[in-house]
Structure 1
Amino acid sequence: MSEQVRLVKPTVTLEQAYVDFYQDWIASGEDIVPWVVSKDPADFEALVKFQTERERGENIPENWVPDSTYWLVSEQDKVIGAVNIRHELNDKLFQSGGHIGYGIRPSERQKGYATKLLALALHKTKELGISKALVVCDATNIGSERTIRNNGGVEDTDFIEEDGNVLKRFWITN
């Protein structure tokens, strides 16, 4: 990672940079992580409003929890990654979602950004009063497991999803 990065809350001032980030994911054909990035940014003001409302606990669907979204942004205002922080855990999140979901755009991987993004996200969880954060990844995602371990992740019991996918679960103490 050659440049400084920071977390910023969703803002309309970064619309073009965010759309470029989103298009990078779409072009890759991969599953988009975290889930909030998969929302179509065509109505950008609505996208930012949606994320702001969720952070305030407004218009949250049943069985969901409030969450905060941040974008990992370079010195040149390029959106490199995103993180979604759940303010609390319900049963589903305790098993298979965790407090923190994050992703780095495909064109910027293997540069150390994920480790930095998770470290910055852990500061945000601490600000929310979360002293121990649960972070999960697919058992096959060696890069994500390394990122979690590099940030102090201590392995807990795996969770096996209905389709047989194995999720590794880690706790990180703030």
Structure 2
Amino acid sequence: MKTCLKLVLGAVLGCALFHMMLTGSPVPMWHIEALENPRQVVEVTDNAILMDDGNRLALPFIKTLPAEHAVFLEALAKGVEVDRDGEVIGLLRVKRICGNDPVVYSKLRVNLSDLAGVLNPSGIDEEIVSADAIEFAQELYSSLSESVRIDAYLLSKMRGMRRLFQNTRDKPLQASVD
């Protein structure tokens, strides 16, 4: 009995040591964010997200939504919330891109305007964002396919889109609710 316990304990400690050598953490970690007040999505059209209460949400900076894109629909699956800044937030499960990442499961809050801009740069509203900036985004993000992997690379592209939107300050950032 003691030998068996020593073997099991040794195996567990050995795995923890190996994981720590690779990632800096002795145990795998999980990072799960949640929506505080999620509202269920009924339908997505080309220009709005239809909510279960009958409201239509139009995303800031976006005139045409990637309504059929699998990644965008995944971000809407658990509902959305409108934060205090008027931004519409969804959830995405982000995959690891490297075995050195100690976080084995990650579900993050994502800004849907940023995601829509990356997935469909031609859908950015040219009345708010300059034509040059939209052309730049189209060149930068045109290589994304329908089967884009949801990982840190996509998140970095979304941060770039956020910077592009933040440099456009002549229009309000509020989501319009009908």
TM-score norm. by structure 1 comes to 0.28
Larger-Rg structure: 2
Higher RCO (CA-CA < 8 Å; seq separation 6+): 2
What TM-score does the superposition give when structure 2 sets the normalisation length? 0.28
Q: Where is the strand percentage greater, Structure 1 or Structure 2?
A: 1
